[in-house]
Structure 1
Amino acid sequence: MATSEEVVLNDPHHPKENSFQAFHHVIHDIKHNILHNRREWDKHEPRMWSRASGLTDHQLIDFTIEKDLVLVRSAPVSYGTIILGKIRIPAINDEEGEGFVHVRIHDPPNRGTEDVTFHSIWHDAGNPNADGQPTTWRAIQTKDRELTFFNE
């Protein structure tokens, strides 16, 4: 498994056709995971998905890769390519602005997009207090939140 010290991501850029194809291959996994993830976090820490709290499941996952994948980064690793994507959630546009999820997928070498797999969604559970407990809970990111390596 790659670590942030080992992975050298390219600069953030608008997606090209190969990124659209890779993310399109796993869109159902991404949407399923968003819904499952929200339900699980809501059981013990509803602040994680609080920006989506007023949305139905349908509203939360009503996005397309073609219109809403707005930024990507990638890096080669010994077992293929890690691809990060910033996907807009059109139903979220609140006092913080538009809402986005950061998604990680994996493309193994030499087989095109047929074996691309979903890896994870980034959750910002950070800014620890004096007891080491997180004070930031965020699955929906802002437009200006940098797309950086994560290994969740």
Structure 2
Amino acid sequence: MQLESPNLHDTLAATQETVQLNEPHTPHGNAIEAFSIAKHAIRAAIAKSRTQWDKHEPRMWARAKDIRDEELLDFDVAKDLVLVRSGPTAYGTIIFGKIRIPAIRDELGEGFVHVRIHDPPNRGESDVLFHSILTDEGNRDADGHPQTWNAVQTADTPLEFFNE
């Protein structure tokens, strides 16, 4: 789900093939700062995503079905951003983060959302933009129709490039 995008030239679009991401690692101060700048947009995107998906495919946010929005959105970037990866592009740096959602703890363990943000070059961190959250329509049948839906990831779900 893409809500706020930098809408840069399609010819400069980052792809898994064109962006060399660093290895997943615990966040340093600059990543915490960047995600803190984008946290309001991240929270708005999570709430909007859940509302939209619940209308046509409630399984996407099923792990959060009994959790109020206030609880779902009650994460602290400084302690709940647990993993990051980043890579340079022609138009700045993209940063992927794994954010723990403390209210989600079920038979699969803790719940996490994967978030993508963008930091344009040479303008400091004040211009960090939210890009998207991962809503995974995985495991497709022979006809290409999704059989699983996951907006809430597990601790074991790898933090990988996504372009939603």
* Same fold? TM cut 0.5: yes
Q: Distance in 2 between matches of 1:27 and 1:122?
A: 15
1:78-93 aligned at under 5 Å gives the runs 78-93=90-105
Q: Distance in 2 between matches of 1:7 and 1:47?
A: 31
Identity over aligned pairs, percent: 62
Q: Distance in 2 between matches of 1:20 and 1:125?
A: 28
Query: What is the TM-score with the length of structure 1 in the denominator?
Result: 0.99
Amino acid at match of 1:9: L
Q: CA RMSD in A?
A: 0.5
Amino acid at match of 1:72: V
Instruction: Report Cα offsets for 1:96-140 as digits up to 9, x if no partner.
Output: 000000000000001111110000000110111011101110000
**Runs of 5+ in structure 1 lacking a partner?**
none
For 2:137, what is the secondary structure of its paired residue?
strand
- Give the deviation of 1:148 after TM superposition: 0.1
Runs of 4+ deviating beyond 2 Å: none
Q: Which of residues 43, 67, 78 is equivalent to 1:66?
A: 78
Q: Show the counterpart of 2:126.
A: 114
Q: Distance in 2 between matches of 1:21 and 1:130?
A: 43
Instruction: Report Cα offsets for 1:48-98 as digits up to 9, x if no partner.
Output: 000000000101001010110000000000000000000000000100000
Q: How many pairs were matched up? A: 152
**Runs of 5+ in structure 2 lacking a partner?**
1-12
Higher relative contact order (CA 8 A, sep 6+): 2
1:49 and 2:61 are equivalent in the alignment: yes
For 2:15, what is the secondary structure of its paired residue?
coil
Q: Distance in 2 between matches of 1:11 and 1:4?
A: 14
Structure (1/2) with the larger strand percentage: 1
Q: Distance in 1 between matches of 2:75 and 2:138?
A: 27
For 1:86, what is the secondary structure of its paired residue?
strand
